Homo-oligomer: A and B are copies of this chain.
Amino acid sequence: MELPTPAFTVDIDVVKRNTQKMIERFQVLGVRLRPHMKTHKTLEGGNLMTGGTRRGIVVSTLAEARLFADGGFDDILYAYPLPFDKVEECAALTERLEAFQVLVDSQEALGQLMKRRLSRGKRWQVELAGIYAHCGNTYGCSGIAEIQAVAQATTTATLEFMSELQKAGVACPASSIGSTPSCSHPVADMGKLTEVHPGNYIFYDVQQMRIGSCEMEDIAVRVLTRVIGHYPHRNQLLVDCGWTGLSLHSLGQLPTGYALVEGHPDLKLVGMTQEHGRIEPIAGNLDFSKFPLGSLLAVVPYHACATAAMHPAYYVHAQGKVVALWKPVRGW
């Protein structure tokens, strides 16, 4: 592959395996999978995550909602405390789709919705339709046992809350929890929920691997970068991937710096400017002859959502050939 660099690449076979495994995992548990679109923000990714049904997704922005609604998706949950400037657009989406759900967590937000009556016999989907929780604390885990302990605690808390609601005579049909770590290693009790909503697993990344959600072979994405400078007096390589190509999301705290260089666990991405990356050995002297000017390195992102967000196009490949270009939506 001789792509212009820096290039965000997606291994479609890995994506298909990741998305198919998640679908099967929750089919077995009898729980609906409502995948989150925020990591990739593409119609193609959404199609794979829903197994082609294009029904039942979560979005983080109205730009995503518009993209997916225009692309034939329906049953869209806008998982965000209703922003007051976006009521009109939420109304338009509710009127247009079979189901568009918003979240409210205050009396004031409910007031905003009540001021905007819907046409076409539609009602705002904000009755107490369900409990939506994100076990974000799985991101502090290390290993499957810790992930499953958090998954269990979140599931138990959610189910107990549902049970209290029922005792109080409050109808609340749905319970949904999410996060890629917990859904990659679900506990049996998650079978008692109605829904899960993970997102990152379409790509996975170094952060998920360190948490224990996945293995290296499950990470579908790379940033391809070229060696553009040799600086022996600094014991450093210069590459054409700066923070516009990777983001600063590990904050440089990995043993290998801001990311992993695939196949070179002895290298460290020590810093980036807007368009340059500086790579040096973790220890010892760099053998520059192994990294000729113009040669390619594959950088494995720490946080795939953040790295994907820096790229206007994804190069999708299968068995070493580019097979598609995916264009994500940006903005709000």
Chain B residues whose C-beta falls within 8 Å of the C-beta of A6 in the assembled complex: 332
Contact, CB under 8 Å: B108 / A60: no
**Nearest CB to that of A228 among chain B residues?**
B81
The stretch among A12-20, A82-90, A144-152, A154-162 that forms the contact with chain B is A82-90
Closest CB in chain B relative to A1 CB, distance in Å: 11
For residue A105, CB closer than 8 A to chain B, the reply is: yes
Chain B residues whose C-beta falls within 8 Å of the C-beta of A331 in the assembled complex: 311-313
How distant is the Cα of A273 from the Cα of B309 in the complex, in angstroms? Answer: 13
Contact, CB under 8 Å: B38 / A2: no
Closest CB in chain B relative to A38 CB, distance in Å: 6
Chain B residues whose C-beta falls within 8 Å of the C-beta of A238 in the assembled complex: 81
Chain B residues whose C-beta falls within 8 Å of the C-beta of A86 in the assembled complex: 4
- Tell me which of B4, B80, B293 contacts A109 (CB under 8 A): B293
Given contacts A4-B332, A60-B275, A106-B229, 11 further A-B contacts (CB under 8 A): A2-B85, A81-B238, A85-B226, A112-B294, A243-B247, A243-B306, A247-B247, A247-B248, A248-B249, A274-B306, A311-B331
Which residues A68-103 have CB closer than 8 A to chain B? 80-86
Give the total of A residues in contact with B, Cβ under 8 Å.
Answer: 49
**Contact code string A228-254 (vs B, CB < 8 Å = 1, else 0):** 111000000010100110011101000
State the copy count for this chain: 2
Contact, CB under 8 Å: B85 / A229: no
Contact, CB under 8 Å: B230 / A106: yes
How distant is the Cα of A294 from the Cα of B294 in the complex, in angstroms? Answer: 51
Chain B residues whose C-beta falls within 8 Å of the C-beta of A21 in the assembled complex: none
Contact, CB under 8 Å: A309 / B81: no
Contact, CB under 8 Å: B309 / A330: no
Chain B residues whose C-beta falls within 8 Å of the C-beta of A207 in the assembled complex: none
For residue A43, CB closer than 8 A to chain B, the reply is: no
How distant is the Cα of A244 from the Cα of B109 in the complex, in angstroms? Answer: 24
Contact, CB under 8 Å: B293 / A106: yes
Closest CB in chain B relative to A254 CB, distance in Å: 14
Closest CB in chain B relative to A315 CB, distance in Å: 12
- Tell me which of B4, B82, B248 contacts A85 (CB under 8 A): B4
Chain B residues whose C-beta falls within 8 Å of the C-beta of A260 in the assembled complex: none
For residue A61, CB closer than 8 A to chain B, the reply is: yes
For residue A305, CB closer than 8 A to chain B, the reply is: yes
**Nearest CB to that of A305 among chain B residues?**
B274
Contact, CB under 8 Å: A108 / B274: no
For residue A53, CB closer than 8 A to chain B, the reply is: no
Task: Enumerate 9 A-B pairs (CB-CB under 8 Å) in ascending A order.
Answer: A82-B228, A83-B226, A83-B240, A106-B230, A106-B293, A108-B294, A243-B306, A274-B305, A312-B331
